[in-house]
Structure 1
């Protein structure tokens, strides 16, 4: 059955588990995050399909059905699995996406490399995703493409299916023209995005950067401006904007531009943290830590996450304020990258060496200042650590949004706690009552963690109340409603509002 909504995202919308030699498909362990957020649209449309990849031996027929039907708590939908070889996955995802595109997207051109890049393979994989989407889409359907590694999909879809509406959502940041234009494929990428009917971003700054890049590629691109909603202006912060592009015009073509940050599942988090077993686990964590102040930092190994800079700031804290030794602990989770991600090996080695140096220099048999893990915790366990912590320290050097910040706020409902947040995380424009910090400044990093440790409880509660209200107002439900309104504005069948 042709689908009115086709979601194009590289990940499969479930987890595969081998049980007694058979593959079982289970819903994602974490009910929060990108995949559950996208699956939330499935039950809201007449029919839906999801396009993803699945590894398969090269030049051999795949040992799995290419197209399957799924029925789970989100509804009934079809999944089309593209059989990609190990070589295609490595080139498309591990090399081109992570070694060439990722450093540019996050404004780290010194990490940019095309030494091992095969752009033809990247283009071919994008074409395969596009062909699958075209086959699934009903007349006039919405084909909704996600994230930078599928930048070329819209152009292929537009060429084969001019009847469909094409939307694109960036889960990452988007750099300014000086950085983006380093890419030798910039025109092909921008031409593809300009084939969309709607291009979405988390925050206005990224939309502004995209519009400027489009003008540098096509000098005759016209921009229609609109005021930024007050709650997304981030007044005085590094990513603040007062106006933003609402649409781009290239000849007769209109491309609508949207900026609306994805939210977290606030009600679900509230339900989980209020469960008696969760309270007991939170208390157990606090007892095990045995210190006055617990700082939590949750992320993954990546040079853009600022983990090294954060560890150096923690080391300076223990040097500057020795009275905090034996009274504070940093719970640091930096999930190790996939073995195929060679670009992150040096980042992981640097983190591990710093943790060892700090624990070795300041720790003793009774106290280790850092509890470190490279293994991801379950969502429920992560929420318990958020609640047990007095401070969440989230200071990426660049981040498209950062849902961890919102999860920490939601988990600490009606409680005290301090969020220290980088100005260069997209979420900073809407979470201005956090302790915002420039992670590139040593003095600001020092001042921010000092402020968090010394903040009186009444101020903590006042700030947390304001942050909680911001997270509730723009939760995952608000994001979903906003996206549905955007699709309806495109005139797509099945998305019109009464």
Structure 2
């Protein structure tokens, strides 16, 4: 096989820029709508590389007649963008059906929603093989290849079959389930064998790392290292996802696979710079005027059975039932982005959310007070910062979430201020943000107590808790995450 010249190859189904077209049909590359997050940080890794390639996909109805697209981009420094053509049918099968209907419910511990009937393993293999082929062709001898997320589970093994000389890292952006739940997948052996061909496998928190290690040991006969104490930044006990120790590596088929727990962070300075811009300050002032004299609760997520939106709304309804003192004194803004059409389970959830909101407003609303405001449209990042700056409480209650960056973004936006973060203990972020008010979204008693305590929390306690969480968010940024992952790989 022909070898390439890239010392660093990043493999991700997402592209480094958004592709747009002007009025004359000319293609333009624009930055992500959010200035924060993983994509800009990954893009900035090319500043440190002499040569690099980012591999993603593009939709092409006639991909059989078109070769991969290779583009030379110059920002933030010169690198190659290689985009693999996939038909709409391949994208639907690979991403929306097999990944979302088969893998997503297992990863998030909803085995009852797992569907094998609609999965298309052959297409999933085909797409992963295309990514692996491209990575092998781009990688220079001894190159570093960093692969992202479960959509590309099979890519590491396919690369390793052809390229023994490269170093391979894989980062899992979702939760990783326990061995008994993961075992439901009919393709569990192929997936594990692929991940075990990596040099480094990364997860957000020790709990997910340990689950992966147990799967490899129980299902593939790997040998695990003695557990070591988790890093000080992680909660060691007392919550659903806390772990006192973590397995640092496992051996399988004469290969040592290092395991690292390193959560993705935010870009706090970017957030704080944005909060003080004239546009965001104007939005914040408008929000403040609309909610003057009332406590403002903010929740931002999307329509998904993992996000706990219905559980949160029912807890809010109970609050208004049991504590009439809050009538007219509190408002909940729920930004719940609607799912793409065509997936019935998400459409049913959206309908349920809208029905609960309507019932709450019908039962308790007055001419001068709407208890819940629901937005199902995507909120701009600037507007979200405006809400963050004014929200007395940020209420994040997923039933399961790999990390949840919204919680960290709220903390970053509240530097020097009070505010209360109410956070599900089933989010990865809960083991980092110890001064959040943790809640169990499966428990009415826990949910009711958490929101009541948050609304009644004294200002002094709010400031103390927020200062502690701000320190954690500032220390473990998205840049720190990327440097830790790649630094570990290069030290092996």
- When normalised by structure 1's length, the TM-score is 0.95
Runs of 4+ in structure 1 off by over 6 angstroms are: none
Alignment match of 2:26 (pick from 3, 22, 28): 22
CA distance in 2, matches of 1:277, 1:343: 37
Contact (CA 8 Å) 1:300, 1:336: kept in 2 or not?
yes
Contact 1:211 1:223 in 2 (8 A): no
Indicate yes or no: 2:224 matched with 1:226.
Answer: no
After superposition, give the CA deviation of every residue in 1:231-256 in whole Å (9 maximum; x if it has no partner). Answer: 21343111111110111011421000
- Once the two structures are superposed, the pairs formed by residues 238-253 of structure 1 within 5 Å of their partners are 238-253=240-255
SS across alignment from 1:381: helix
**RMSD after superposition:** 1.5
Q: Indicate how the Cα distance of structure 1 residues 127 and 350 shifts in structure 2: closer, same or farther if over 3 A, else same.
A: same
Answer yes or no: is 1:280 the counterpart of 2:282: yes
Q: Which residue does the alignment assign to 1:370?
A: 372
For 1:12, the equivalent position in structure 2 comes to 15
Indicate which of 100, 121, 124 corresponds to 2:123.
121
Give 1:53's aligned residue: 57
Helix, strand or coil: the match of 1:256?
strand
Does the CA contact (< 8 Å) of 2:9 and 2:135 recur in 1?
A: yes
Q: Is the 8 A contact 1:98 1:343 kept in 2?
A: no
Aligned-pair CA distance for 1:222 = 3.0
Which residue in 1 is equivalent to 2:40? Answer: 36
Map residues 82-481 of structure 1 onto 2, 5 A cutoff: 82-481=84-483
Residue 6 of structure 1 aligns to a residue in which SS?
A: strand
The CA distance in 2 between the partners of 1:60 and 1:217, in whole Å, is 38
CA contact (8 A) 1:234 1:428 kept: no
SS at structure 2 position matched to 1:214? helix
- Show CA shifts across 1:97-116 (max 9, x none): 00000000000011111111
Check whether the contact 1:291–1:326 (CA below 8 A) recurs between aligned residues. Answer: no
CA shift for structure 1 position 23? 2.2
Distance 1:44 1:291 in 2: 50
Cα offset, 1:276, TM superposition: 4.1
Structure 1 CA distance for aligned equivalents of residues 224 and 280 of structure 2: 53
Cα distance in 1 between the residues matched to 2:129 and 2:105: 23
Structure 1: stretches of 5+ with no match in the other structure: 491-498
Q: Conserved in 1, the CA contact under 8 Å of 2:230 and 2:236?
A: no
1:151-202: CA deviation from partner (whole Å, max 9, x where unpaired): 0000100001111111000110100011000000000000000000000000
Q: Is the 8 A contact 1:94 1:340 kept in 2?
A: no
Deviation at 1:356, TM superposition (A): 1.6
Flag the 1:256–1:59 CA change in 2: closer, same or farther, 3 A.
closer
CA distance in 2, matches of 1:484, 1:23: 33
Q: CA deviation at 1:342?
A: 4.0
**Aligned partner of residue 232 in structure 1, secondary structure:** coil
Q: C-alpha separation between the residues in 1 aligned to 2:97 and 2:199?
A: 29
Higher mean alpha-carbon deviation, 44-53 vs 162-171, is at 44-53
| Paired position in structure 2 for 1:482 | 484
Following TM superposition, by how much is the alpha carbon of 1:269 offset from its aligned partner in structure 2, in angstroms? 1.0
Structure 1 CA distance for aligned equivalents of residues 188 and 68 of structure 2: 36
* In structure 1, distance between residues paired with 2:69 and 2:137: 13
| Aligned pairs, number | 488
Shift of 1:396: 0.5
Q: Secondary structure at the match of 2:233?
A: helix
Does the C-alpha gap of structure 1 residues 231 and 220 become closer, same or farther in structure 2, counting only changes over 3 Å?
closer
- How far did 1:323 drift? 1.5
Deviations 1:436-475 (A, max 9, x none): 1111101100000000000010000010010101111111
Deviates more, 1:436-445 or 1:33-42: 33-42
Contact 1:234 1:430 in 2 (8 A): no
Maintained 8 Å contact 2:394/2:420: yes
Per the TM alignment, residue 278 of structure 1 is displaced from its structure 2 partner at its CA by: 2.6
Q: Secondary structure of 2:191's partner?
A: helix
**1:99-134 Cα deviation digits (max 9, x unpaired):** 000000000011111111111111111111111111
Does the C-alpha gap of structure 1 residues 243 and 234 become closer, same or farther in structure 2, counting only changes over 3 Å? closer
CA spacing shift, 1:480–1:60, aligned 2, 3 Å: closer
CA distance in 2, matches of 1:145, 1:226: 26
